Structures are given as structure tokens and as C-alpha cells.
Structure 1
Amino acid sequence: MMGGGFSTGHEYQTRGRGVSGQGSGAGSGTRIDTFVDEGDTVDDAYDEFAEDTTITDRQGETISARRDVIVAILEEDLSIKESQLIGSFTRGTMVGPLKQDSDADIMIVLDADEHRQWTTQRNGATNALRAVKRRIENDPRFADTEVTIDQNVVKVRYHDSTLEIAPAFDYSEVPHAEHPRDGFNLFNDASDGYAIPDTHGSDSWMGTNPRAYKNEFEARDQAHDGRVSGLTRMMKKWSDNNEVPVRSYHMEIMVHNYFAEKARTGERVPSNYHDLAMDFMQSLPDRVRSTTREPIYDEAVDGGMSREEREAAARKAESAADTLDEAAAAKERGDTATAKQRLKTEYGEGFQ
């Protein structure tokens, strides 16, 4: 049975010109001022860039259709309670145009009554992944498609994107599933979430609750008129353009945490993308040099990052901060062409 009620993530609100929000500056439900000078072409370019980094409706429909094909194949041999698209695709932080490394995540929730052996076997998590992989690669439509296992997902690589399929059970159905946070927490408990394979260093099941993070992210994004997802896409684009050794999800969490910190301290959030990007970029070197934790279970999302990679990312962020300062100075003196050219060197040809 297909899971319902999820957002495909490929439709975004149009950020209008000259709109003002009201709020006190504290909490994820607070709105920020969004007035942008109509004649400021640097800010216009930023708004257009943020909008242009989304995937298209057609690309979103393609991903959804591929999900349907995958689920239909798996349903032939597996008892599936529900399936849902999760990850950046549903949060509006997936960056377009799509390329082979662009990944969309699918969670396949299995019926424990039919597949309980995978929750109790010594290598049950790996066996569940192998079963999903085998069923997909044996379908003639995937004869020439790369299908592999990567820690807790099965990856299906298309020419223009990758689908990552995570088999799952309701968390309560898996004995001894690892809780992502030590101790019990009423509001961040995994018991209303799911258990997915964890084959990194061991073979077990671990709790996750993608709905909880999605709800928090969307609330904060709505409070800031879509600028949380917009800044996330821009920073992912910058990272890709400059070969910064930071994973996509890691970058998203750093952007989310930036906004969360502003809410906790009551510090003003810049009201246009140019100042917002500068402020975030100035904080980025310290962020990549320290541990980044996701907001639901406080788990580190950068555990595989080496010290050398952290330093390389920090240096690139420091250089980018200097470039954005130069662009700001050019913008201030009215030299729009120079400002936009400097920004294009950081963000790539997509920045116009």
C-alpha cells in the first residue's frame, strides 16, 4: 500500500517583492522582514538564483514515477505496509538541475508479521537490504542499471539521479532496535518512528523519525518565507561549484542550525539573501571545524569527515566570505556588474 500525504518537494512558493512579515525574532514560528528594494538588481539576482536552484515540476514527477515503479516491483515479493519519499526531495532542499549524484530517498515500511526474520536474524539488516537489491536488479528494466548496497540503503543509479531505498519496520516491531538518543525523551522518542538497517561497523537496526525533522524544518522554513530551504540550496550549489568536501545533508543541517541559533538568541536574521549568505558564510569555518548535530536526536551528521577535509572546507568558506565581502562593497558603491561577477565566481554560472 502506498503511503499518502507526503509532499513531492518540487513546488515552491513564489517570493514576492516588497512583502513584509511581522514577528518578535524568537522561536521557529517567528517571521522575519522580507522587504527587498525593487531596484536592487543584486538582490533580484539572489532571489532568482534561489528560485532557479529548485528542481522542476517535471523532474519531481519523474522521481515520483520512479518511486512507483520500484515499489511495484518490491510488492511482488514483499509485504509492504507503506512507502514514502523522504529526505531533501520532500523538504524542498534538493538542488537542480538533477545529476547522477542527486539522490532522492524512499522508505519502504515492511510488514513485521511477514518479514519478522529480518528483525531477529544475526545478519537481518543486511539480509533485508540484499533482498531489496536482488528484487530490483532481477527486474529486466534494471538489467543495465547500477544497483548497490550502501550502509543502510539500496542505491539505484539512473543517468540523471539516484534513488536510495531504505527498508524499514515500525520501531516498536524491532526488538532491541537502537535508539538514536541515549535515554528516553518524550518529545524526541523514536517509538513513533521507524527502524532502518545500520550496517556501518555492525549489523543492526536503528531508530529514525524523518517526519519529526521534516515538520521542524518546514515550520522554520515557513517562518522565514522559504529562506531556510532557499539558503540551503544556494549553499549546496556553492559547495558543489567549489568542490567543498561537505555532504549535502551535512550542509542542510548547518543551515538549519544557523536559523535555530538565531531563534534561540533572538539575534536578527538578515532580511535578504545577500546579507543572509554573507552572515552564514562567515560562520561556516567554525561550523565545519566542529561537530554538527541534527536537531531531533542530537546525532552527529559529520562523523566520516576527516580533519583534512574539515580544514579544506573551512579554508574554502573563508575565501568565499572574502569574495562575498568584496561583492557587498561593490554593491554598496553601486557597481552592480562587479558585485554580480564576484558572486558568479562563487556560485557558478547559474547565478545571473
Structure 2
Amino acid sequence: MGSRHNSTGNTYNQSGREAPGAGGAGQTLMDALSDDDNQEHQTGADEVEESYEEHVDESEITDNQAKTISDRRDVLVEILEEDMEIEDSQLIGSYTRGTMTGPLKQDSDADVMIVLDADEHRQWTQQENGPRNALNAIKRRIQNDPRFSDTEVKVDRNVVQVKYHDSTIEIAPAFRYNEVPHADNPRDGISGIFTDASDGYAIPDTHGRQSWQGTNPRKYKQMFEARDEAHNGKVSGLTRTMKKWAENNDTGFRSYHMETMVYNYFEEKARRGEPVPDSYESLTRDFVQTLPRRIDNGGSKEPVYDETVDSGMSRSERRKAAEKAEKANAKLEEAKRLKQQGRTEEAKEKLREVHGEGFN
């Protein structure tokens, strides 16, 4: 236990009792035993938090994996530049926000947005099937390159997926928002809310009717990073922790859906003036307590345009995911009780049931 000094110059431990040799008669035997118990419990608490911090750190992708993704982006853009006019290309999504989880596997997706020259590719903003045609053009160019003859390349809603053995690159063609006539603004029709989309981009949406849909990954990244910095990296850390939980427990959550729920948890805390737990142990437990409600209520919104991100989940899928969240909540509470009793190893074993065998 640490110690502090009061105004009299005597040294006190954190319980407020006078420490040994600090000018009084010293501790009684009962005091010493009580402090030993507190020290043991504090050590257990430290061990659990250290395990959480290690789990959070290990959930990040490595520098080599990040370089591999960046190199693949460069190759794909180089192929497309051979006969397409590209103004800009940028990695976006979880890769840039520090919420992409490792180790990489085939369904680990990194997003690349390629901004097309509107004058050279005007047909895709004017044709009835322009969004689909733009995606198909990108797909064909990649498939025709001999290096991708054995690689699965397909269109999925608003991106072209290039599936490597250990990850997937998703390419979204885009135009600057103000260069696409009649591009949808996701906030249109929301009473009392107006968001200028002119500093964002328009990407294809082939789900249902074909259209160009406003998006602003730069704005969301700025918002996410500001909140993450305000909480010493715990927004991205908790996001990776919960993404790993969702993967390990087959919850059916999309990666971005989980990230949005974590972001909204922190935003709600700030709006209500409520404190956020300092430790990952308490933070995870506090967030998971709210998770069944977030799932059952539906309507999880992304922060820039207030778009619903969980509309693809059916009622039965929501029920299944909520039940898994409730089970996780019960196990986290049990781990807390075991730790308070000084049964640290049992607490960590219970946490492994939640977070997987990689939690040490």
C-alpha cells in the first residue's frame, strides 16, 4: 500500500492509520493483519487489471500486419490507376481508428476509399445503374490482373472485396459529395437536424435502389480520435476487447456495429456528466451491463449522420445476441465477486470464459 503525508508531518497509509515508525506507537497486530489482507486483495486487483491491459494490447494488429495491408492497398491502387483517373486513395475504417483486431484472418477487413475524378468518370454518377457499374469496373480491373487470378474478388453492396488468405481489402469508389448530382444526405428528413455533407464523399449503395450515398470517414475519425484521446486510448481499447468477445462468442455483430455501440457508450457518459470507470476491468463490466438494452432496443446510430447501423439484424438474431450479452454480464459479476474474496486465479478463469483462452 502506498503512503501519504498529512499536514502534521506524520506518514499515513491509505486507510488513514498511522504507518509503522511514523511517530506513534505503531500498528497493532490486528492492524497489520488487516493491512496484509488489503495488500493481498490489491495485488489480486492489480493482476486482473494487468491481464486486461495485456489482452487489450494483444488484440491490436502488429506493425508487420499493418504494413502488409498498406502494401496491398498500394498494389490495388496501382492496378486501378492504369486506366482510371484517381484523385486520391486512403485507408479508412477500423484500420485508421486503431480498432482493427488481430491476429488477422480472412474476414478481417481493411477499407480503402478511392476518390475518382468526376470529369473523367461522370457516366457513373449519371447512369441509372452507375453505382453498380462503377463497382463492376473496379472488380474487372483487379480480376484481369494475373496476380489475382486465384483470388476471390466480388461486389458486396457498396464495396469490391478482395479476399486474401489472411484478410480482406474492401475498395469503395467515391466522388467528392458536391460533384454527384442528387447524392443522398443520410441526415435528410431528420427533423431539426442539418448536416452539411459538402466536405464528405459519395459512395455507391446497391442495397435496394441504386444510389450514391453521402459519407464522411474523415469527420468520424476526428470525432473518434478526440474521444479516444480524452479517455487515454480506452475507447479503442474497449472496442477491440468487445469485438474479440463478439467474434469468440459468435454473436452476429458486424464489427462496425460493435464499435458504434462502444462509441455511443462513451458519448452518453459525457452527455450525462457521468464518470467513466478508470480500469478496463470495471469499464468492460459497466459497458456489458448496458449491452442487452442496446441490442434489444435496436437503432444503434453512427455519430456523424445518425444512420442506423444494425438494421440488418433480425429479431431472433437480436434475442440470441442479447442472451449472450446477459451471460457475459453474469460471468463478469461473478469474476468481480471472486476477486473481492481474494480468489484471483478463479476470477481470471471466469474472465477467460468471457474473453477466450487468450486472456491470461
* TM-score, with structure 1 as normaliser: 0.88
1:167-182 aligned within 5 A: 167-182=173-188
SS at structure 2 position matched to 1:191: coil
Q: Partner letter of residue 101 of structure 2?
A: V
1:158-237 aligned within 5 A: 158-182=164-188, 188-237=195-244
Any idea what the Cα deviations from partners look like across 1:82-129, whole Å, max 9, x if unmatched? 000000000000000000000000000000010000000010000000
1:145 aligned residue (137, 147, 151): 151
Q: Distance in 1 between matches of 2:358 and 2:197?
A: 40
Contact 2:187 2:194 in 1 (8 A): no
Aligned residue number for residue 339 of structure 1: 347
Q: Residue 78 in 1 paired to residue 116 in 2?
A: no
Residues 44 and 303 from structure 1, CA distance in 2 versus in 1: closer, same or farther, beyond 3 angstroms?
same
Q: Distance in 2 between matches of 1:182 and 1:114?
A: 29
Q: Residue 68 in 1 paired to residue 74 in 2?
A: yes
Aligned residue number for residue 35 of structure 2: none
Q: Distance in 2 between matches of 1:149 and 1:201?
A: 14
Aligned residue number for residue 245 of structure 2: 238
Any idea what the Cα deviations from partners look like across 1:157-205, whole Å, max 9, x if unmatched? 0000000000000001100101111159997321110000010001110
SS at structure 2 position matched to 1:192: coil
Q: Distance in 1 between matches of 2:171 and 2:350?
A: 40
Aligned residue number for residue 41 of structure 1: 47
Q: Partner letter of residue 299 of structure 1?
A: E
The percent identity for this pair of structures is: 65
Q: Partner letter of residue 110 of structure 1?
A: L
Q: Distance in 1 between matches of 2:274 and 2:182?
A: 42
Greater mean alpha carbon deviation, residues 216-225 or residues 342-351: 342-351
Q: Distance in 2 between matches of 1:127 and 1:171?
A: 18
Contact 2:112 2:172 in 1 (8 A): yes
Aligned residue number for residue 271 of structure 1: 278
Q: Distance in 1 between matches of 2:151 and 2:286?
A: 42
Q: Distance in 2 between matches of 1:214 and 1:285?
A: 27
Any idea what the Cα deviations from partners look like across 1:132-170, whole Å, max 9, x if unmatched? 000001000000000000000000000000000000000
Q: Distance in 2 between matches of 1:38 and 1:112?
A: 61
Greater mean alpha carbon deviation, residues 63-72 or residues 185-194: 185-194
Q: Distance in 2 between matches of 1:213 and 1:38?
A: 39
Aligned residue number for residue 326 of structure 1: 334
SS at structure 1 position matched to 2:184: coil
2:257 aligned residue (241, 250, 263): 250
* Structure whose alpha-carbon radius of gyration is higher: 2
SS at structure 1 position matched to 2:198: helix
Q: Find runs of 4+ consecutive structure 1 residues off by over 4 angstroms.
A: 183-187
Q: Structure 2: which 5+ residue stretches go unaligned?
A: 3-41
Q: Partner letter of residue 77 of structure 1?
A: D
Aligned residue number for residue 55 of structure 1: 61
Contact 2:93 2:111 in 1 (8 A): yes
1:120-131 aligned within 5 A: 120-131=126-137
Aligned residue number for residue 318 of structure 2: 310
* TM-score, with structure 2 as normaliser: 0.86
SS at structure 2 position matched to 1:81: strand
SS at structure 1 position matched to 2:186: coil
Q: Distance in 2 between matches of 1:273 and 1:112?
A: 46
Q: Structure 1: which 5+ residue stretches go unaligned?
A: 1-17, 19-36
Q: Distance in 2 between matches of 1:194 and 1:243?
A: 33
Q: Partner letter of residue 103 of structure 1?
A: D
SS at structure 1 position matched to 2:181: coil
SS at structure 2 position matched to 1:115: coil
Greater mean alpha carbon deviation, residues 222-231 or residues 186-195: 186-195
Higher relative contact order (CA 8 A, sep 6+): 1
SS at structure 2 position matched to 1:286: helix
Q: Distance in 2 between matches of 1:332 and 1:190?
A: 51
